[in-house]
Structure 1
């Protein structure tokens, strides 16, 4: 997992930090840490994610710093990691913890199973059996399970409680009760009560909880697999050229402006530009396109993409946390650490759950002790232990974040970057989708769509002259024509005297002839006549919202060229898919009404608004939100930022501006509109999974606690064994995790 602290200064002068936390063992730990840090002076916001073991903070650096926050967290048993290379440390710690859990589980099983066998099958037949069971129980409780008691003690000192408190109380009470009955059996026997021991309950409970945590750790690692895969896109070693000599260095040692040598098959470590060489680069992790892209001198390359057959020398421009790949990792992590409204409600419940359960346990004990059948003390003790064990809120706490982590991870895998959990929760509720035109529905850049020559077949010379004029112009339309001609392998002519006319076009001379490229104003200025057949075609193109460019030789138009911002190939089908989900689609554009109408008709949009300023888009969205609409907006430019921020769900195109991506809550990395329908369906599937998880977690506790308290005893004489309670508690957490992981393979 990406674990280095991430510090960002926001507009209010506050500092945002995203760090990792060690020592959390259950969902109520997250609530305890949040509630302990939130009241501190200078802390504006705290969000703790238990499955991700992360902490997001907003604080005033003039009042408090991260070291002070780390110290405060340490007071209640948690460690905030602030090291720059925390990612390496956390992986080592996670491996060590998993291995330590495994050893503790094995040790607990080695000693707990004999205790269980003696208690269940040989009770009353083995000499000194109680002393033997006590001896076997000591390493289970005070070595395998010692952390439960350490954490519970730290919590108690700060008037706090979590799942470890429940485990420590239940197993500690069971063990101490059994020790008293082993060492001083006559204490109860004098009162006519058999001195029962419950060593097997204490040790088997700890064994089951350790088993649950061991399996839970493995499952949590799977939920964060998307982040680990993204981090795996960074090469560990890189070849740089320093003072003309090739050197192999670590990824973290790369400097800005460094020359990096890329051999065939190398993964690109930074964002930069090609300095030397030519190759094809697999950019599918960014664009989603399987076809490799040719890279020549001056062209951009991105971290995480793969150099294919050729060799390249690139110059690094963005390194470390500045790269697009690092931004993706950071945003996915931030999203996984964020909480939707439903999780905040669950956190509030989990925060009061443990004290309530302890209260219920005490009430249960008192009822059995006062009104229960003989032996009252034994029944009261067993019921108390069982209630404390079975009521653990782990399943409840895992229900929402695990499903979100899998959902967000799956979105990242398919090219949809989800910035926060709220957007994933909201996406399936949208009833109106606002689409920007340029760069969202269309490609966002002018392209040649048609070219007609006055003669049936144009000469290579005329094409070369046309290329010579357009290659010297800086106009976007000239760039589109240049790209088209070069793609068709036209050879540029060696022309003379280039002159540009602002707002009209340009001219060039070749062997005494004057050649013009531009609009009708330029043609009229130089008295160039346009043939009737070409004029008719040009008017037809204009009706189709295409820009017409004329190319003339002296007084004769040699060619007319249509240039337009082409509609994306998938746009019509993508919009249809969104409509099929019951969502109304509206197009907003700053372009003129004629162009807007043509584009809207092409993609099947009935409602559209043209000639809009950036502020008009935000105002329109606000207006329909007041009507009760839940609005999503997709856009790619700086002019869309206000609308993206105003919308309930902002969707940015990955090829768009950084400001658009910052304003949006979802980013489509491939800029493919089909991903909008996928995001809506993913949102729906994720929320269904969360509801299923919460249903089973609540049902489990609603049914299990009364049964553990002994509600069935007056009816059937059934009293739940604490061992079975421990197994059921562990199973409930595992079932929630398993249900969340099903989301990875669900058809969307």
Structure 2
């Protein structure tokens, strides 16, 4: 993101500062930090909750320490990124806390619920076991509640902290000042409050149970959210890690030396051997080869390169040795630009706050007010303080949003497990929130609609020449070449290949050799003309037709005559047409967005029934196409498999990656198809819609449960211990409802 893009005046001489932000527990935290930073003079900041980073454009006179102090003043923490430091694993931190709390909480809950386990002094043991859970285990909730309190805000964490603390503190009061601390005390299972026994019961099991349930939900959420930041790391892995530089040896010659990619500078010349990645963007100085650019451009066919041709970093050299002069390094390369687009998409994407947090933002203040009203009302009615406080505690416990907290992650987990069984991986609630609103499905061609592998498209023999003989001759000529087109022709041959002698590769033209004692050649039409051979009109027509369908054409000569034409192309993937029909059945418009040429793209689109074609689109333009569709008010799903698709996948409302694609595409997506079957994308949309419907159902019933239960507790008809059990039951109901997704079958 340039300074001009964010509105900073050039004369301000801005700088870009990245910060790692810690302590955020929800999207509102990121919004709060962003608001604080943007209040600083000349600062434009964007805070990403998913990646836990802040991207700040600030005046040159401002230091990173100033920004860090501003973040800390907001109640959070920040630091400059540590180079090569492993990413912080928040899911692992929560998992450790969850396991420790569960080990301590299980005996507390068991003793409270099973009278046979209530040995003399059991209540004091419960206090000892519950204390670490309510203090250390629930500390993230307490800290978040305090931070939000400083800003006059309340969240789910506020109610969790208040409810568990109330149950814990009131239990201690009952132990110390009431009958609950007497050795030999047992819990009395009564539904309603007994007005003269308010200090005869303890509620540690309610406190520790709430904490464990909520930690479980946070762990599931952290696992899915953590993956959002992996896209940029995956992009970093695509490029070369080392480069072979050509150095002047001082004697008029040159030597090769391998150095880390960071040592490469603009103007340096480097060597790329067959099978190696091109280290950075550059221009060919020496050598002839075919370069596979599919990782960047999406073009399925390798591109012939000669001295003067441009190449891009991370593309793969397939055949000859190349010497390349670097024209861009580091942040200026096309790969780095794609990475910036991915980061921009992740940071700028509208990530609506979780539905449970939205409900809690309204619900929590109401609950706190009702608890206080309950306390005051019973005191005014003449009840003793013990009963009034116990009734108020019942309101807090029964309303603790455990079920609300579990509504999304449990449905996400059940949906994800079912998705994995179907071959679909679902990441994050964002996919579920957006799936039902999708109106347009944009998709890449190569590796998505097509198989992404070269195969023989058509064999057209010349008059008097047999088809099988033509294929055998072409395969024999190409058997000595490592070019992907050559490998496809050789793979198609079934007959034994004759002997090959005097093989010669003519860069950019073709090959020639002696086959079974006769001169033969294969290559372009121009190569045939150079050899003095006439190309019949019938073969020219066949070649033009194949080229219009996106195929690469190889002319084959046998002696002094043309034997025919063999064309090679990327075939339409199985079920692609069925998948497009399924999208249309869901009311979705389909758009192909590809780097391939227009004729090839239109031919494939006609085969499968695509509504609209955007061809010859560069990586940055794929991102722009998605934004253009969104600017028209459309909710867009993007399906792709390459690094060139990563930015568009991140920008799309719903990113869907083919599982056989690159790590960068998979990491940037919301859904990943584990098999190369486009029909799974339609199934993924159906499953996502069903999962979101389940989440909404969970939230509805959890909220209705609170609406019904809170008045009962406020009127004094609900014991806090039973309130805790009812709270647990609501959580069980939510989990059970979510588990119904395991039996879901998308109709076809």
TM category (shorter chain) comes to 0.5 to 0.7
Q: 1:29 & 1:590 partners in 2: Cα distance?
A: 40
Instruction: Judge conservation of contact 2:448–2:641 (CA < 8 Å) in 1.
Output: yes
1:397 aligns with 2:383: no
1:148 aligns with 2:134: yes
The SS at the match of 1:564 is: strand
Corresponding residue for residue 681 of structure 1:
686
Selected match of 1:691 from 682, 696, 703: 696
1:706 aligns with 2:704: no
Report the CA distance shift for 1:456/1:581 in structure 2 as closer, same or farther (over 3 A): same
The SS at the match of 2:718 is: coil
Q: 2:88 & 2:643 partners in 1: Cα distance?
A: 33
Q: 1:172 & 1:499 partners in 2: Cα distance?
A: 85
Q: 1:532 & 1:82 partners in 2: Cα distance?
A: 63
Q: 1:212 & 1:501 partners in 2: Cα distance?
A: 71
How far is the alpha carbon of 1:207 from its aligned partner?
3.2
C-alpha deviations, 1:430-452, integer Å up to 9, x for none? 11112222332122343113335
Instruction: Judge conservation of contact 1:443–1:567 (CA < 8 Å) in 2.
Output: yes
Instruction: Judge conservation of contact 1:32–1:351 (CA < 8 Å) in 2.
Output: no
Selected match of 1:647 from 641, 645, 652: 652
Instruction: Judge conservation of contact 1:450–1:561 (CA < 8 Å) in 2.
Output: yes
Instruction: Judge conservation of contact 2:638–2:652 (CA < 8 Å) in 1.
Output: yes
Instruction: Judge conservation of contact 2:656–2:669 (CA < 8 Å) in 1.
Output: yes
C-alpha deviations, 1:365-390, integer Å up to 9, x for none? 112221x2x54546533422321221
1:101 aligns with 2:87: no
Corresponding residue for residue 437 of structure 1:
445
1:633 aligns with 2:638: yes
Selected match of 1:424 from 409, 428, 432: 432
The SS at the match of 1:438 is: coil
Instruction: Judge conservation of contact 1:16–1:58 (CA < 8 Å) in 2.
Output: yes
The SS at the match of 2:682 is: helix
| 718-727 vs 450-459, which moves further | 450-459
Corresponding residue for residue 250 of structure 1:
none
Instruction: Judge conservation of contact 1:223–1:741 (CA < 8 Å) in 2.
Output: no
Instruction: Judge conservation of contact 1:111–1:137 (CA < 8 Å) in 2.
Output: no
Corresponding residue for residue 500 of structure 1:
506
How far is the alpha carbon of 1:576 from its aligned partner?
1.2
C-alpha deviations, 1:155-179, integer Å up to 9, x for none? 6988685424323324644763686
How far is the alpha carbon of 1:182 from its aligned partner?
5.7
Q: 2:632 & 2:693 partners in 1: Cα distance?
A: 27
How far is the alpha carbon of 1:567 from its aligned partner?
0.9
Q: 2:453 & 2:564 partners in 1: Cα distance?
A: 22
Report the CA distance shift for 1:641/1:168 in structure 2 as closer, same or farther (over 3 A): closer
TM-score (norm: length of structure 2): 0.62
Q: 2:571 & 2:402 partners in 1: Cα distance?
A: 53
Q: 1:408 & 1:12 partners in 2: Cα distance?
A: 38
How far is the alpha carbon of 1:620 from its aligned partner?
4.1
Q: 1:339 & 1:616 partners in 2: Cα distance?
A: 17
Instruction: Judge conservation of contact 1:212–1:731 (CA < 8 Å) in 2.
Output: no
Corresponding residue for residue 717 of structure 2:
719
Corresponding residue for residue 732 of structure 1:
730
How far is the alpha carbon of 1:360 from its aligned partner?
2.4
Corresponding residue for residue 279 of structure 2:
none
Aligned residues: 572
C-alpha deviations, 1:164-217, integer Å up to 9, x for none? 43233246447636865669xxxxxxxxxx9822345x32x3335545666777
How far is the alpha carbon of 1:91 from its aligned partner?
6.5
Q: 2:132 & 2:602 partners in 1: Cα distance?
A: 72
Q: 2:397 & 2:129 partners in 1: Cα distance?
A: 19
1:594-613 correspondence to structure 2 within 5 Å: 594-613=599-618
Structure 1 residues without counterparts, runs of 5 or longer: 1-10, 22-27, 49-54, 75-80, 116-131, 184-193, 229-271, 274-337, 711-717
Report the CA distance shift for 1:344/1:403 in structure 2 as closer, same or farther (over 3 A): same
The SS at the match of 1:528 is: coil
1:197 aligns with 2:203: no
Corresponding residue for residue 163 of structure 1:
160
C-alpha deviations, 1:446-485, integer Å up to 9, x for none? 311333556676788x867544432344544223213333
Q: 2:595 & 2:426 partners in 1: Cα distance?
A: 27
Q: 2:373 & 2:712 partners in 1: Cα distance?
A: 14
Q: 2:90 & 2:617 partners in 1: Cα distance?
A: 48
| 725-734 vs 217-226, which moves further | 217-226
The SS at the match of 1:439 is: coil
1:521 aligns with 2:526: yes
Report the CA distance shift for 1:719/1:637 in structure 2 as closer, same or farther (over 3 A): closer
C-alpha deviations, 1:574-599, integer Å up to 9, x for none? 11111111111122344444333321
Instruction: Judge conservation of contact 1:149–1:165 (CA < 8 Å) in 2.
Output: no
Structure 2 residues without counterparts, runs of 5 or longer: 1-14, 39-44, 57-62, 78-84, 151-157, 181-193, 227-274, 277-347
C-alpha deviations, 1:699-724, integer Å up to 9, x for none? 122222222211xxxxxxx7333332
How far is the alpha carbon of 1:428 from its aligned partner?
2.8
How far is the alpha carbon of 1:695 from its aligned partner?
0.4
Instruction: Judge conservation of contact 1:29–1:162 (CA < 8 Å) in 2.
Output: no
Q: 1:382 & 1:447 partners in 2: Cα distance?
A: 76
Instruction: Judge conservation of contact 1:424–1:683 (CA < 8 Å) in 2.
Output: yes
Instruction: Judge conservation of contact 2:163–2:207 (CA < 8 Å) in 1.
Output: no
Instruction: Judge conservation of contact 1:112–1:137 (CA < 8 Å) in 2.
Output: no
1:386 aligns with 2:390: no
Q: 1:480 & 1:703 partners in 2: Cα distance?
A: 68
Corresponding residue for residue 173 of structure 2:
176
Q: 2:723 & 2:33 partners in 1: Cα distance?
A: 33
How far is the alpha carbon of 1:691 from its aligned partner?
0.4
Selected match of 2:586 from 568, 581, 589: 581
Report the CA distance shift for 1:224/1:635 in structure 2 as closer, same or farther (over 3 A): closer
Q: 1:571 & 1:622 partners in 2: Cα distance?
A: 25
